[in-house]
Amino acid sequence: MGNIEKSLGELAEYLDAELVGDANHRINGIADLQTASASELSFINQESYAQYLAECESGAVILSDDFADKYNGNKLIVSNTYLAYAKVSALFESLSALPAGAHPSAVIATSAEVHPSAAIGANCVIGENARIGAGVKLYSGVSIGDRATIGDNTLLHPNVVVYHSVCIGSNCIIHSGTVLGSDGFGFAPVRGGWEKIHQLGAVIIGDNVEIGSNTSIDRGALGNTVIGDNVIIDNLVHIAHNVKIGKGSAIAGCVGIAGSATLGEGCTVAGAVAINGHITIANNSHFHGGTIVTKGNTEPGVFASAPPQQDVKKWRRNSVRYTQLDDMSSRIRQLEKQLQALLAQNSADKS
């Protein structure tokens, strides 16, 4: 930050916001309400932060009508504050753009088609018959397998690996260390070991998909693993062969999705969730962090399974009881029967 500067007038126009204040005031970054300086922009979208408005030294605050009266400084009034913050964040992105063309150290197969506007970083390797679209940016050390396709304006950070025949759409961002198209975990059991099932499908990734770092998406066994348009996937996520993820779904960090699971559109999967294979999850399903998803569902819903956090001493005692739950249930049943018999007897005795 620091190199990019915009006037509040420019920002108001960019955001289609109502500006109250000095249109010539210049902004060179974004910060939160408590720490923003006069050259930085802030935003507020929760009542709990309203306490900071009085002392706020920000150059301007993005806010909705609800908060407009509570702030006296420069303000940009919008209908969707969080979306406005997202949009303005793009202006202050500090990742340097790669220049178009291929770095001399890149190794590009002669049969590969690389659009002249694409940027190919140092030590990238591009395989036979691969196609690299317009405006693509491959940062250093990216490996693109034979016959893989990278759609227009997609950006791959250093050391991403794309296996052969994988197809990535347009306007995607893939972070470092992520591997797309490794073999699915498919083996036929044989005496003492396993016979590999060669994974003949590919991975098909839609448009506007972002994938975090060190995530793995396996190619299909037969047919493809498919990630829909507008899906967002975080770091260290494992997506097994032939998984399908519907449009617009969000998968947080450390999630694992087993083979041939189908996740609908508009789902959110919180961190550290594990989803079983060969199940189908309905559109607009939501899973809390740490859920072990063992079965599919057909209606939208919110699901969880994580046991509660406890002090370790309490946890030890309750854990023992957990292993006795079925017995506890039988004892309750037995008590109910005995008590009912006793009450019936008492009633009979009295009549």
- Residue 90 as a binder of its own copies (CB under 8 A): the answer is yes
Cβ closest to its own copies, residue 54 vs residue 188:
188
Please identify which residue in 20, 50, 100, 122 interacts with its own copies, judged by CB under 8 A. 122
150 beta partners = 132, 168
Please identify which residue in 80, 113, 278, 298 interacts with its own copies, judged by CB under 8 A. 80
Closest CA to 264 of 290, 226, 314, 237: 226
107 beta partners = 125
Cβ closest to its own copies, residue 100 vs residue 200:
200
Question: Residue 244: helix, strand or coil by DSSP?
Answer: strand
User: Using CB under 8 A, which residues numbered 285 to 344 contact its own copies?
Assistant: 288-295, 301-312, 314-326, 328-329, 331-332, 335-336, 338-339, 342-343
- Residue 52 as a binder of its own copies (CB under 8 A): the answer is no
Cβ closest to its own copies, residue 69 vs residue 326:
326
User: Is there a catalytic annotation at residue 238?
Assistant: no
101 beta partners = 119
Cβ closest to its own copies, residue 3 vs residue 24:
3
Task: Supply the minimum distance, in Å, between the C-beta of residue 313 and its own copies.
Answer: 8
- Residue 93 as a binder of its own copies (CB under 8 A): the answer is yes
Stretch that binds its own copies, among 12-20, 50-58, 110-118, 172-180 (CB under 8 A): 172-180
Backbone angles phi, psi at 334, to 5 degrees: -65, -45
Residue of 164, 198, 241, 288 marked catalytic: 241
Backbone angles phi, psi at 297, to 5 degrees: -150, 160
Please identify which residue in 9, 177, 283, 300 interacts with its own copies, judged by CB under 8 A. 177
Backbone angles phi, psi at 251, to 5 degrees: -120, 115
- Residue 151 as a binder of its own copies (CB under 8 A): the answer is no
By CB atoms closer than 10 A (0-12, 13-18, 19+), residue 311 is: exposed
Please identify which residue in 117, 183, 280, 283 interacts with its own copies, judged by CB under 8 A. 183
187's tokens: 């083996």
Question: Residue 347: helix, strand or coil by DSSP?
Answer: helix
Task: Supply the minimum distance, in Å, between the C-beta of residue 63 and its own copies.
Answer: 15
Burial 255-276 (b: 16+ CB within 10 A, else e): bbbbbbbbbbbbbbbbbbbbbb
Between the CA atoms of 133, 139, 141 and 144, what dihedral angle is there, to the nearest 10 degrees? -20
Please identify which residue in 13, 18, 128, 298 interacts with its own copies, judged by CB under 8 A. 128
Please identify which residue in 125, 131, 135, 280 interacts with its own copies, judged by CB under 8 A. 125
Closest CA to 30 of 76, 71, 69: 76
Task: Mark 189-228 with x for binding to its own copies (rule: CB under 8 A) and - for no binding.
Answer: -x-xxxxxxxxx-------x-x-xxxxx-x--xxx-----
Report the alpha-carbon distance of residue 59 to residue 80 in Å, rounded.
20
User: Using CB under 8 A, which residues numbered 96 to 115 contact its own copies?
Assistant: 96, 103, 105, 107
Report the alpha-carbon distance of residue 86 to residue 82 in Å, rounded.
6
Report the alpha-carbon distance of residue 232 to residue 249 in Å, rounded.
7
User: Using CB under 8 A, which residues numbered 53 to 72 contact its own copies?
Assistant: none
Task: Mark 228-247 with x for binding to its own copies (rule: CB under 8 A) and - for no binding.
Answer: -xx-x-xxx-x-x------x
Report the alpha-carbon angle 31-78-82, nearest 5.
50
- Residue 165 as a binder of its own copies (CB under 8 A): the answer is yes
- Residue 167 as a binder of its own copies (CB under 8 A): the answer is no
Active site residues: 241
